[in-house]
Amino acid sequence: MSSANESRPPFPPFTQETATLKVRLAEDGWNTRDPQRVALAYSPDSRWRNRAEFVTGRDAIVGFLTRKWTRELDYRLIKELWAFDGNRIAVRFAYEWHDDADNWFRSYGNENWEFDSDGLMTLRYACINDLPIKAADRFFHWPQGRRPDEYAGLSELGL
């Protein structure tokens, strides 16, 4: 359980509405590309598996995200709810980014999340694959930051 002054609504058990909101709030956070801010959505002892990397705790999450967004430039992400039950949510996502040589990629993946009663994520398991794309084949063109509400989601984009 988290300390009394830490919480991140909505809280489990999730409904369709609250799980969908939780996913959108996570997407919004990640699109800030602010490691310190993003890490606050996770419990102090949160455990991750991201591809083949294992991360435990907020400091390690901040380090991981700092390295990630130093490599993955002009990052834009869309997440979509896949399933939920109790304190767990499954998500599918895609994000676009380029490296420092201006090679573009679309990364696809799935995440499984588990939350404590304060709404902080305690477990995150991510499987991700990278597809090289041409800059002209990008779908994610909104200004850096939060995806506008009227912007299409993954299903609408055929992803």
Q: Is residue 146 situated within a structural domain?
A: no
Q: 10 falls in which pLDDT band (50, 70, 90)?
A: very high
State the Cα–Cα distance between residues 17 and 30, nearest whole angstrom.
20
Q: Is residue 131 situated within a structural domain?
A: no
State the Cα–Cα distance between residues 62 and 38, nearest whole angstrom.
8
Angle at the Cα of 83 from the Cα atoms of 38 and 95, rounded to 5 degrees: 45
Question: What are the tens digits of pLDDT across the range 17-41?
Answer: 999 999 999 999 999 999 999 999 9
Range of the domain at 68: 16-92+110-126
What mean pLDDT is predicted for residues 117-132? 98
What mean pLDDT is predicted for residues 112-122? 98
For residue 55, what are its two tokens?
């991360």
Choice between 3 and 149, residue whose per-residue pLDDT is larger: 149
Total residues found in the chain within this entry: 159
Q: Is residue 49 situated within a structural domain?
A: yes
State the Cα–Cα distance between residues 130 and 60, nearest whole angstrom.
23
The number of domains in the chain is 1
With a cut of 80, say whether residue 3 has pLDDT above it. no
pTM exceeding the 0.85 threshold for the entire prediction: yes
Secondary structure of the chain in HEC code, one letter for each residue: CCCCCCCCCCCCCCCHHHHHHHHHHHHHHHHHCCHHHHHCCEEEEEEEEECCEEEECHHHHHHHHHHHHHHCEEEEEEEEEEEEECCEEEEEEEEEEECCCCCEEEEEEEEEEEECCCCCEEEEEEEEEEEEECHHHCCCCCCCCCCCCCCCCHHHHCC
With a cut of 60, say whether residue 1 has pLDDT above it. no
Q: Is residue 45 situated within a structural domain?
A: yes
Q: For residue 86, what is the domain's CATH number? A: 3.10.450.50
Q: Is residue 158 situated within a structural domain?
A: no
What mean pLDDT is predicted for residues 136-159? 97
For residue 137, what are its two tokens?
């084949």
pLDDT value, residue 85: 98
Question: What are the tens digits of pLDDT across the range 60-102?
Answer: 999 999 999 999 999 999 999 999 999 999 999 999 999 999 9
